[in-house]
């Protein structure tokens, strides 16, 4: 019964997307008269660059308006609720206090640095270092329309399978080989470490945390509701090319990466969807990752990837902190009571669960069997350490 | 390093002593506890030695157990009855006994000890608040029925139509027995009924999950053939009786002592 | 109503007797704890706190002008109470004298803890209880439900519904309850709970939890640096101390334990059988079981009881730094990691026990059941089976709040300790014997 309802929702969303695509000429930036693919390193520092960025600014502004509207609306709702009305002021960001916070772990610093570096490289890499590795593909959602990517994104040929088979055999082998290698070596760690789309969403999430705005808590129902959307996107992603369409017209990333590289290009529906992604990821961390078709495809091979999440089931107290912290809403990580390996198809190796786990060594991230990040109560409680250090 | 070891079991009514050496029971002795526990124990120990031609220097560790174990200063150390009984089984159980459970019917308490395959205590339950189901209970009833404790067992075997005795308390059971006597019931039937009710009570203490292995009866109560039969009937399976049932605790204590030199 | 002077006098006499009996028992147990060897430096603070409440009959040590809020379960988040500018005290009782009073009020099969609480309510003599501006009673069992009603006619009472499952919806609903509780707390104290004050509450309790996790880390060391009875006393004293004072005092204890660890000074010279105590709550002054274990030559190397380590063990993990996120982290902490048998899940505690057994190298488990505490009794079978598979002996001790069963408990505990000891190599006797 449930899956039938999901199917219906999937079909409806498909129809919605089709209608959106059909009427998208009414949206801003639907199509430019001329697409300007001409970029250079110098262009990044010219006034012209600012002009190319205008669509991005509009998208950001619209998202900001959307976020503010949602926050205001929510506050109105809180005020009218009998139970919560008196706490309406406690919700605001003007409070000075800060909740105890643990010191950042090395893993997290490394992850964030890698994300920023890879985002820079994937957007401006070609301009900085030249196009040396462009025949390799990583399974990312970093737009291949941006010709200045350091490496190519597999997403283009994955969503244009009919074009893939027209390529010379050497290119096909390179594409399949490099994609498969990164799927095995990294798995969905590419989402957590490399994907620029992930970085954008993480930045939105940090913004929310800074402003102490209430987010959407982990809830199975939410993830169940997202499933049909995921199916739609996977369907559109893999199947549209055979129907003569182009997934890139829907892909939100088209509105970010090429523009940042200085390319002026038509955005079709993507700019519109990007607003949704930005608002969504502001309130729910990595919301798009839950529906991302590329991530889904990589996730299919999670059993062979070298990054693993390991759990010591006796050390676990089932406190659910990992589940609350998990941006992908993976529940089994705290309910699992037998297996040592809790790597899930949705896991993006962001390490949040390990960071929030209060039990020593209950959760750990491993790469090819070697532990790279383990949970520790001492680290978790580091925000509550007494001011003066104990003298021995 | 002595060749022999003595175990002393200071029970509520009797003080039991056992002398063991070379892995077997050499001699046992029992005496009324009296007022001077320690003195009685010393007397018992020296009596056992002289009777078997053993000098005190040949006796190694002495271990006390039972109710008054703390006051027996002649002993080097003491151990609880539960552990002692479990150990005693190694020497007193019949050959074919597979360790599983011990039912110990003592003077003032009865206990059930669960053993694993190596005769180590797995768990135990005790009836230590109430005298029902103990040797004392049998004594009281025997007195009412004008017989002695030794005759209780054989007499009850002659019963043709055992009575129901449902009271669980000694005092209440006593009055129940008196009323049965007044109603001219045969005392053999009353005794058989008493054994049945005791067995029922003790079986109730057992855990159903732990009925693996065989059942061994120890303690003074095991000398009572009627009670033994009642247990077999109640449990519907074989119940073994230990050799030297009364001395099982003392033998166990001596056995533990032998491990200490 | 007391109308005549004579009746008033009689009541006064009865009260005096109650107080003298209560203080005597409490003082006796404090003395027995004090007499145990190997108390760490700074331990006296905890003894003094318990003495203050039970022997001197004074209220909890609360800063001037702050109200006290009575709590009846560890599932009440202390952070909220601190955020509202009040001080939480844990009122679950282990008092023998109050128990005997409450025995007449509550039905026979009610658990002694609830009977003791009923006894204190009946006499109205215990300042810790009488000082409370409000009481928060999570409904963890039927007895708690009825006692909440009983307490309600003396004092403002907030009940909290504890769900049987711990899914997402239950956490949502419990968060709503926490909001309601916060509103009631605000009304009673007159302070507003704001983001800053809640964060401050988190910080204060977090500081105590930091010290506790240090303490637990030190406690794990082999051989033992501290006796379990002392550790349990420390945890019990937390009920009547502010988090600040408690963490300060525990900090002193921790630094002494660190010194002990460095100088290899352990609490006893010999290797003692290491016992884990779990089951129904063990509340001061009902310390007969841990005291018996240590007096009979064992050592309580771990405890998994709610007035013991479990009470403050799990920290709230803030995964979302908003006000709502903090409330949710409290709800999550209260329900999910709690191995309390009030939840339908019977297996969670087994994992916790297995971890404690591995951490503290436990050799035997004593399962304490308060008479009438059905939920704990239910789980015994499963735990016995599971631990049996690990080869860890388990014994179930049922007891009540009185001293009549001490001898029976003693023989059980003694045999249990012997059982563990016999697994170890015995000491040899060497001196030659000359006579009897």
Give per-residue pLDDT as tens, B172-213: 778 888 888 888 888 889 888 888 888 888 887 776 656 678
Find the range with the poorest average confidence among A16-20, A55-59, A340-344, B82-86.
A16-20
Find the range with the poorest average confidence among A128-137, A242-251, A300-309, C55-64.
A128-137
Q: Is C86 helix (H, G, I), strand (E, B) or coil?
A: strand
CB < 8 Å from A in window 213-232 of C: 213, 217
Q: What are the structure tokens assigned to C72, written together?
A: 């009846």
Q: Is the per-residue pLDDT at A92 higher than 70?
A: no
Pairing, β B110-115 against β B101-105 = antiparallel
How close C103 gets to chain B, by Cα (Å)? 21
Q: What are the structure tokens assigned to C5, written together?
A: 């002077």
- pLDDT band at residue A390, thresholds of 50, 70 and 90? very low
Quick check: C349 and C356 in contact, CB under 8 A? no
Tell me whether residues C434 and B2 touch, CB distance under 8 A.
Answer: no
Tell me whether residues C354 and A314 touch, CB distance under 8 A.
Answer: yes
Beta bridge partners of A374: A364
Distance in angstroms (rounded) separating the CA atoms of residues C87 and C61: 9
Q: Is C390 helix (H, G, I), strand (E, B) or coil?
A: helix
Touching chains, A (3+ CB pairs < 8 A): C
Higher pLDDT, A44 or A226: A226
Burial of A107 (0-12, 13-18, 19+ CB in 10 A): middle
- pLDDT band at residue A391, thresholds of 50, 70 and 90? very low
| C393 has a chain B CB within 8 A of its CB | yes
Report the chain A residue with the minimal C-alpha distance to residue C198. A99
| C37 has a chain B CB within 8 A of its CB | no
Q: In the predicted model, what is the mean pLDDT of residues A95-112?
A: 86
Concatenated DSSP letters for C109-168?
TS-HHHHHHHHHHHH---HHHHTEEEEEEEE-SHHHHHHHHHHTTTSEEEEEEPPSS-SH
| C65 has a chain B CB within 8 A of its CB | no
Tell me whether residues B259 and C426 touch, CB distance under 8 A.
Answer: yes
Q: Is the per-residue pLDDT at A29 higher than 70?
A: no
| C355 has a chain A CB within 8 A of its CB | yes
- Domains of chain B: residue spans and CATH: 4-84+248-259 (3.30.420.40), 97-241 (3.30.420.40)
Tell me whether residues C314 and A392 touch, CB distance under 8 A.
Answer: no
* C323 interaction partners in chain A (CB closer than 8 Å): 87, 90-91, 212, 214
Residues 6 or more apart whose CB falls under 8 angstroms from that of C380 comprise: C279, C367, C369, C396
Report the chain C residue with the minimal C-alpha distance to residue A212. C322
Quick check: B252 and B136 in contact, CB under 8 A? no
Establish, for the pair of chains B and C, how many residue pairs have beta carbons separated by less than 8 Å: 59
Tell me whether residues A100 and C202 touch, CB distance under 8 A.
Answer: yes
Touching chains, C (3+ CB pairs < 8 A): A, B
Distance in angstroms (rounded) separating the CA atoms of residues C141 and C147: 10
- Domains of chain A: residue spans and CATH: 2-19+31-67+101-299 (no CATH), 307-382 (3.30.70)
pLDDT tens, residue order, chain B (261 aa):
568 899 999 877 788 999 998 888 888 888 887 788 888 888 888 888 888 888 888 888 899 998 888 888 888 888 888 889 988 998 888 888 888 889 988 877 888 888 887 788 877 787 766 666 778 888 888 888 888 888 888 888 888 888 888 776 777 778 888 888 888 888 889 888 888 888 888 887 776 656 678 899 998 888 889 999 998 888 888 899 998 888 999 999 999 888 887
Q: Is the per-residue pLDDT at A31 higher than 70?
A: no
- pLDDT band at residue A392, thresholds of 50, 70 and 90? very low
Q: Report whether the peptide linkage leading into residue C217 is cis, meaning its omega lies within 30 degrees of zero.
A: no
Q: Specify the pLDDT at position B208.
A: 60
How close B67 gets to chain C, by Cα (Å)? 10
Distance in angstroms (rounded) separating the CA atoms of residues C267 and C270: 9
Concatenated DSSP letters for B120-156?
-EEEEEEE-S--TTSHHHHHHHHHHTT--HHHHHHHH
Q: How far is CA B49 from the centre of its chain?
A: 24
Distance in angstroms (rounded) separating the CA atoms of residues B196 and C4: 60
Q: Least CB-CB distance to A381: which of C186, C210, C355?
A: C210
Q: Is B111 helix (H, G, I), strand (E, B) or coil?
A: strand
Tell me whether residues C433 and B259 touch, CB distance under 8 A.
Answer: no
Q: For residue C319, give the DSSP letter.
A: S
* A316 interaction partners in chain C (CB closer than 8 Å): 351
| 0.90 surpassed by pTM | no
Share of chain A above pLDDT 90, in %: 24
Q: Specify the pLDDT at position B160.
A: 86
Query: What size, in residues, is chain B?
Result: 261
Quick check: A164 and A172 in contact, CB under 8 A? yes
| B4 has a chain C CB within 8 A of its CB | no
Dump pLDDT digits (tens) for A207-217. Answer: 998 888 888 88
How close C364 gets to chain B, by Cα (Å)? 11
Q: Specify the pLDDT at position C147.
A: 92
Q: What is the mean pLDDT of each run of 10 residues along chain C (436 residues)?
A: 81 91 92 89 92 90 90 92 94 90 89 92 90 93 92 91 91 93 93 90 93 91 86 93 93 92 76 90 91 90 88 89 90 92 90 91 92 90 89 88 85 86 70 72
| C197 has a chain A CB within 8 A of its CB | yes
Q: Is A143 helix (H, G, I), strand (E, B) or coil?
A: coil
How close A291 gets to chain C, by Cα (Å)? 21
Q: Least CB-CB distance to A321: which of C167, C332, C358?
A: C332
Q: Specify the pLDDT at position A204.
A: 94
Whose tokens are 């609720």? That residue is A81
Residue C234 phi, psi dihedral angles, 5° rounding: -60, -45
Beta bridge partners of B215: B101, B239
| C177 has a chain A CB within 8 A of its CB | no
| C183 has a chain A CB within 8 A of its CB | yes
Distance in angstroms (rounded) separating the CA atoms of residues C303 and C283: 12
Dump pLDDT digits (tens) for A318-348. Answer: 999 999 999 998 998 988 888 889 999 999 9
Neighbours of C263 (CB within 10 A): 8
Name the region of B76 (left: φ>0; alpha: ψ -120 to 50; beta: rest): alpha
Q: What's the whole-number average pLDDT of chain C?
A: 89
Q: Do chains C and A touch (3 or more CB pairs under 8 A)?
A: yes
ipTM of the assembly? 0.88
Distance in angstroms (rounded) separating the CA atoms of residues C16 and A325: 55
Dump pLDDT digits (tens) for C348-390. Answer: 889 999 999 998 889 999 999 998 889 999 999 899 889 988 8
Distance in angstroms (rounded) separating the CA atoms of residues A254 and A248: 7
CATH of domain C13-314+323-337+345-422: 3.40.50.11900
* A84 interaction partners in chain C (CB closer than 8 Å): 179
């Amino acid at each position: 019964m449930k899956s039938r309802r999901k199917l219906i929702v999937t079909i409806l969303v498909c129809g919605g997307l089709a209608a959106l695509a059909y009427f998208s000429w009414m949206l801003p930036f639907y199509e430019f008269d001329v697409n300007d693919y001409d970029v250079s390193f110098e262009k990044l520092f010219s006034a012209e660059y600012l002009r190319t960025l205008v669509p991005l600014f509009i998208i950001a502004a619209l998202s900001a308006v959307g976020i503010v509207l949602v926050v205001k609306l929510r506050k109105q709702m809180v005020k009218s609720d009998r139970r919560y009305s008196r706490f309406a002021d406690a919700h605001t960001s003007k409070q000075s206090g800060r909740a105890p916070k643990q010191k950042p772990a090395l893993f997290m610093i490394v992850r964030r640095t890698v994300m920023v570096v890879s985002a820079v490289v994937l957007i401006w890499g070609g301009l900085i270092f030249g196009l040396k590795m462009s025949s390799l593909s990583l399974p990312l959602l970093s737009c291949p329309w941006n010709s200045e990517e350091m490496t190519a994104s597999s997403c283009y040929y994955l969503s244009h399978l009919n074009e893939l088979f027209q390529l010379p055999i050497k290119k096909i082998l390179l594409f399949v080989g490099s994609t498969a290698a990164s799927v095995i070596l990294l798995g969905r760690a590419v989402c957590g470490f490399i994907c620029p789309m992930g970085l954008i969403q993480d930045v939105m999430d940090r913004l929310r945390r800074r402003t102490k705005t209430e987010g959407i808590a982990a809830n199975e129902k939410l993830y169940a509701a997202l499933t049909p959307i995921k199916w739609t996107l996977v369907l559109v992603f893999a199947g549209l090319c055979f129907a003569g369409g182009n997934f890139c017209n829907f892909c939100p990333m088209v509105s970010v990466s090429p523009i940042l590289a200085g390319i002026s290009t038509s955005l079709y529906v993507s700019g519109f969807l990007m607003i949704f992604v930005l608002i969504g990821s502001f309130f729910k961390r990595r919301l798009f990752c839950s529906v991302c078709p590329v991530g889904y495809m990589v996730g299919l091979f999670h059993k062979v990837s070298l990054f693993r999440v390991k759990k010591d089931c006796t050390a676990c107290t089932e406190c659910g902190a990992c589940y609350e912290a998990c941006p992908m809403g993976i529940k089994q990580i705290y309910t699992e009571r037998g297996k040592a390996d809790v790597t899930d198809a949705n896991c993006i190796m962001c390490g949040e669960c390990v960071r929030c786990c209060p039990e020593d060594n209950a959760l750990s991230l491993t790469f090819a069997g070697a532990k790279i990040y383990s949970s520790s109560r001492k680290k978790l409680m580091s925000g509550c350490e007494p001011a003066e250090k104990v003298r021995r | 390093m002595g060749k022999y070891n003595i175990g002393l079991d200071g029970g509520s009514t009797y003080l039991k002593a056992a002398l063991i050496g070379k892995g077997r029971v050499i001699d046992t002795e029992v005496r009324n506890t009296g007022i001077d526990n320690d003195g009685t124990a010393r007397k018992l120990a020296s009596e056992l030695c002289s009777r078997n031609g053993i000098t005190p220097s040949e006796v190694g560790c002495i271990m006390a157990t039972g109710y008054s174990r703390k006051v027996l200063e002649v002993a080097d150390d003491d151990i609880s009855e539960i552990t002692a009984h479990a150990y005693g089984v190694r020497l007193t159980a019949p050959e074919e006994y597979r360790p599983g459970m011990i039912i110990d019917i003592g003077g003032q308490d009865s206990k059930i000890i669960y053993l694993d395959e190596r005769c180590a205590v797995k768990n135990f339950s005790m009836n230590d608040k109430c005298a029902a189901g103990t040797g004392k209970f049998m004594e009281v009833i025997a007195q009412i029925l004008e017989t002695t404790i030794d005759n209780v067992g054989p007499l009850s075997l002659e019963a043709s139509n055992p009575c129901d005795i449902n009271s669980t308390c000694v005092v209440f059971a006593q009055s129940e027995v008196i009323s049965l006597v007044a109603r001219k019931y045969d005392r053999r039937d009353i005794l058989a009924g008493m054994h049945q009710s005791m067995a029922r009570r003790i079986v109730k203490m057992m855990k159903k999950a732990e009925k693996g292995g065989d059942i061994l009866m120890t303690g003074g109560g095991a000398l009572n053939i009627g009670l033994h039969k009642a247990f077999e009937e109640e449990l519907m399976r074989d119940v073994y009786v230990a050799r030297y049932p009364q001395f099982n605790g003392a033998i166990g204590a001596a056995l533990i002592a032998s491990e200490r030199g | 109503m007391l109308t005549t002077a004579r009746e008033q006098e009689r009541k006064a006499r009865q009260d005096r007797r109650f107080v003298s009996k209560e203080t005597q028992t409490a003082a006796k147990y404090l003395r027995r704890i004090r007499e145990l060897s190997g108390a760490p430096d700074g331990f006296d603070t905890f003894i003094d706190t318990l003495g203050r409440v039970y022997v001197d009959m004074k209220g909890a040590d609360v800063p001037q002008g702050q109200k006290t809020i009575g709590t009846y379960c560890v599932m009440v988040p202390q952070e909220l109470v601190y955020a509202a500018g009040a001080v939480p005290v844990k009122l679950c009782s282990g008092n023998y004298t109050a128990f005997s009073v409450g025995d007449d009020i509550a039905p026979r099969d009610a658990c002694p803890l609830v009977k003791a609480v009923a006894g204190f309510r009946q006499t109205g003599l215990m300042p810790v209880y009488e000082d409370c501006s409000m009481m928060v009673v999570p409904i963890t069992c039927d007895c708690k439900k009825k006692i909440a009603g009983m307490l309600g006619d003396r004092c403002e009472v907030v009940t909290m519904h504890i769900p049987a499952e711990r899914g997402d919806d239950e956490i949502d609903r419990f968060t709503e309850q926490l909001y309601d509780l916060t509103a009631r707390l605000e009304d009673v104290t007159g302070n507003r709970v704001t983001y800053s004050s809640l964060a401050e509450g988190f910080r204060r309790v977090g500081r105590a939890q930091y010290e506790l996790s240090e303490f637990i880390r030190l406690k794990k060391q082999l051989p033992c640096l501290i006796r379990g009875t002392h550790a349990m006393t420390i945890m019990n004293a937390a009920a009547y101390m502010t988090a600040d004072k408690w963490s300060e005092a525990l900090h002193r204890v921790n630094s002494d334990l660190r010194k002990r660890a460095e100088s290899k000074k352990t609490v006893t010279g010999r290797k003692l059988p290491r016992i884990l105590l779990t089951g129904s709550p063990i509340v001061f002054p009902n310390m007969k079981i841990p005291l018996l274990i240590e007096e009979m030559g064992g050592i309580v190397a771990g405890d998994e009881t709610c007035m013991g380590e479990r009470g403050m063990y799990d920290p709230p993990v803030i995964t979302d730094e908003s006000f709502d996120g903090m409330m949710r982290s409290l709800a999550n902490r209260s329900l999910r990691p709690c191995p309390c048998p009030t939840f339908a899940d019977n297996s969670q505690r087994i994992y916790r026990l297995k971890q404690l057994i591995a951490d503290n190298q436990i050799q035997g488990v004593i399962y304490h059941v308060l008479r009438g505490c059905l939920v704990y009794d239910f789980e015994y079978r499963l735990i016995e089976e599971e631990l049996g598979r690990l080869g860890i002996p388990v014994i179930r001790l049922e007891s009540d709040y009185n001293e009549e069963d001490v001898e029976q408990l003693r023989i059980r505990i003694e045999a249990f300790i012997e059982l563990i000891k016999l697994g170890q190599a015995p000491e040899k006797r060497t001196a030659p014997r000359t006579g009897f």
